[in-house]
Amino acid sequence: MISYSKQNNYLIENKNYTLISSNYFFFIIYGTLVSIFFLDFFNGYLNLIPRQITWAAEIFSLILFMLIFADLAFYKLPIKLNFLTCFLIVWLFISVIGVVINNVKPFVYFAGVRNYFKFIPFFIALSIYPLPLKLIEKFFEILILISASQLLFVIPEKIIFWGKSGDLIVGTLGQNASGTLVIFQLLSFSIIISLYKCGYYTIKKFLLYSIPILLSTFITEGKIVFFILPFIFIISFLGVKNLPKIIIIFFMGFIFIMIGAFLYNFIYGNIERHFINYDSTLETLGANDISYAKNERLRRISQVRFMFKNINHSTYSKIFGYGIGNASDSYFKLSKGEYSKRFPSLGIDKVLLSRLGWEFGYSGIFTFFCFLIFLYKYKIPHTNIEFYNGILEARKGIVIVILFSCIYNSSLIINPISFVFWSYLGIFNNIILKHESQNF
């Protein structure tokens, strides 16, 4: 077994597990963080590095997978099945059936697997290795610092592009990543407020991180923040028995949303015009064919309606979709999905719910949403470590953010969001397994 140091609670090198003893794990984790949150900025935004360098995160993930496989094969590293691992198995099983039924081309299949499962090695590694408390704390601290530091890039970007669309405000996440930035910031905020709720963060530290994170989301023109943020605050004070803390969370929620509305109105004009456009809303909600495209691309809800219309052609396509990767665009010509090529200008893969329907059918959509609901309602254990309690509690806010993101962008296909989500689930799983083995 891997041993712990009582002095600093870090892992002591042990030759039983190749991954831990070689220190590859630490290098891969932090190398991936840098790759995901900065390389796309240098490539797509500043044009300083070639696109191929931005694949570093996926190379790290592949290396991690090989090291885990080596441990599983040669050292018989134990894996315990629970609802998280069972979900992945079921989801992979559905994807295989869809591929077989639809005779999906090998390159398209591998591109689809890459899209959905490229950061699963981080989930596995963070689940099965007995990680020490300080390592987990450091991981989230770095993630939150990256999130808070986005304001340093968002402000000059907004000054440069003043009077233009908020879509140009991307922080360090690269070209066309405004929506990604909003979802990433809200995921980070869900973790921060949960750590405050459980007593790990003081009010000062909570505000120190929350203010720059939320300010950067308001500046991006991401209207979805005004729908998600109230939910995060509401679920944060549910179950809190400390009345002063409930009042503080409620008050901060009100203040933050008011500040956001003021900033949005100041930067982008009449907030009512942006949020209450009845003609546009009715057109979007009622759209079910390609005649409701905006600039030749389907709007978000239109993509979902268009997907449902097309997968209802047969019983097989209803249940299993058209196969993983078959509705996805790709950088490589051989990996482009058949339906992506059939509707090249409509952007049928730009919203996660639409993509799930095309490629997994109703069974995939049902499995995914059942997983999120189960995760939200999971009865978490109460530990004697405030940090663990905060991380476990953060699942509720994270589920809310992912649910909304399903009709906002491709979320779990996009590197920053996918990496944060699967890494969080791995650490969540790790804490649960520690509790079950009473290894606190």
pLDDT one-digit tens code per residue, 262-310 = 888 888 776 665 555 544 544 544 444 455 555 567 888 888 989 999 9
Residue 105 lies in a domain: no
Residue 85 lies in a domain: no
pLDDT-derived band at 149, boundaries 50, 70, 90: very high
* Global pTM value: 0.90
Residue 292's pLDDT is what?
A: 52
Contact predicate 90/81, CB 8 Å: no
Residue 290 lies in a domain: no
Mean pLDDT score, 104-121: 92
Higher pLDDT, 375 or 268: 375
Residue 221's pLDDT is what?
A: 78
The domain in which residue 213 lies consists of 18-78+119-275+379-436
Ranking 29-43, 64-78, 271-285, 385-399 by mean pLDDT, the lowest is 271-285
Residue 68's pLDDT is what?
A: 84
Residue 271's pLDDT is what?
A: 62
Positive/negative CA dihedral, 378, 382, 387, 388: negative
Give the number of domains in the chain: 1
Q: What's the CA angle centered on 61, arms 55 and 66, to 5 degrees?
A: 130
393-417 burial, b if ≥16 CB within 10 A, otherwise e?
Answer: bbbbbbbbbbbbbbbbbbbbbbbbb
Residue 355's pLDDT is what?
A: 94
Residue 248's pLDDT is what?
A: 83
Ranking 7-21, 113-127, 216-230 by mean pLDDT, the lowest is 7-21
Higher pLDDT, 25 or 49: 49
Residue 183 lies in a domain: yes
Q: How many CB atoms lie within 10 A of CB 23?
A: 11
Q: Please state the separation of Cα 15 from the chain's center in Å.
A: 34
pLDDT-derived band at 16, boundaries 50, 70, 90: low
Q: How many CB atoms lie within 10 A of CB 338?
A: 16
Q: What is the CA radius of gyration of the chain?
A: 22
Mean pLDDT (the chain) is: 84
- Separation CA 259–CA 207 (nearest Å): 14
Higher pLDDT, 212 or 132: 212
Residue 107 lies in a domain: no
Decide if pLDDT at 250 tops 50: yes
Residue 294's pLDDT is what?
A: 54
Residue 421 lies in a domain: yes
Residue 99 lies in a domain: no
- Separation CA 364–CA 371 (nearest Å): 11
Structure tokens given for 12: 């002591």
Q: What's the CA angle centered on 26, arms 437 and 37, to 5 degrees?
A: 115
Positive/negative CA dihedral, 199, 204, 205, 210: positive
61: left (phi over 0), alpha (psi -120 to 50) or beta: alpha
Mean pLDDT score, 143-160: 94
Residue 160, amino acid? I
Residue 331 lies in a domain: no
Mean pLDDT score, 87-115: 91
Report the percent of the chain where pLDDT is more than 70.
87
Residue 212's pLDDT is what?
A: 96
pLDDT-derived band at 358, boundaries 50, 70, 90: very high
